[in-house]
Amino acid sequence: MTQKELKKYLKYNPLTGIFISLNKHNKRWTEGRVLGTLRKDGYLAIKPHGIEILLHRAAWMYVYGEFPDGYIDHINKDKTDNRIENLRDVAHVVNMQNKKTYKNNSSGTMGVGFVRSSGRWRARITVDEKQVVLGTFVLYSDAVNARKNAEVLYGFHENHGCKGL
């Protein structure tokens, strides 16, 4: 879908990130309706011609006239926040440097885990798809500091590992 086609059917507000239907396109797309269906993965999408378009990618197209070269990163990690100021076009490796802590993380800090066999905390980080072990530590706080320092060293986004803003 081109920028011209998007603008023919949709109105996008870059300050709110909301898409509104400009005219009746089908039974579900009535004029003035806020558009977007929440997918299982947490992203909003539309299907204007039976082809699914993620709204964060549509927002990029609407504003810049082309789909992004890489991945669209939601800076604040809210997959439904499609305000243009919250979106950035980044490479996959950069997108991975701005992730939420996984739900099954038991230590509370991404990249830090307790090793039962040694009774110590291990800190690690993935850089360029390779895992780097930062060391093992008696104190949890030392492992967390090692991880945080590595995130700065390797240029991770300041929000990386946060639960969301």
Q: Which residues contact 63 (CB under 8 A, 6 or more apart)?
A: 12, 14, 84
Residue 161 within a domain: no
Query: What 3 state SS string does 106-130 have?
Result: CCCCCCEEEECCCCEEEEEEEECCE
Q: Are residues 87 and 105 in the same domain?
A: no
Cα–Cα dist 165/101, whole Å: 12
List the structure tokens of 79.
Answer: 């997959």
- Given 78, 94, 110, the domain boundary residue is 94
Cα–Cα dist 110/88, whole Å: 23
Residue 163 within a domain: no
Coil, helix or strand at residue 11: strand
Q: Are residues 118 and 73 in the same domain?
A: no
Q: Are residues 24 and 80 in the same domain?
A: yes
Cα–Cα dist 11/32, whole Å: 9
Q: Are residues 79 and 146 in the same domain?
A: no
CATH number at residue 114: 3.30.730
What value does the mean pLDDT of the chain take? 85
Q: Are residues 90 and 105 in the same domain?
A: no
Q: Are residues 86 and 104 in the same domain?
A: no
Residue 160 within a domain: no
Residue 147 in contact with residue 111, Cβ under 8 Å? yes
Cα–Cα dist 112/141, whole Å: 10
pLDDT tens, position by position, 121-152: 999 888 877 889 999 999 999 998 998 898 88
- Given 51, 70, 94, the domain boundary residue is 94
Q: Are residues 57 and 109 in the same domain?
A: no
CATH number at residue 59: 3.90.75.20
Q: Are residues 89 and 112 in the same domain?
A: no
Q: Are residues 12 and 80 in the same domain?
A: yes
Q: Which domain holds residue 16?
A: 3-94
- Given 94, 126, 144, the domain boundary residue is 94
Q: How far is CA 13 from CA 4, 59, 143, 158, in A?
A: 16, 9, 43, 27
The pLDDT assigned to 148 comes to 86
Residue with tokens 């699914």: 52
Residue 57 within a domain: yes
pTM of the model: 0.69
Structurally, how many domains does the chain consist of?
Answer: 2
| Residue 81 φ/ψ, nearest 5 degrees | -90, 95
pLDDT tens, position by position, 22-78: 876 666 667 788 999 999 999 999 987 788 999 999 999 999 999 888 899 998 889
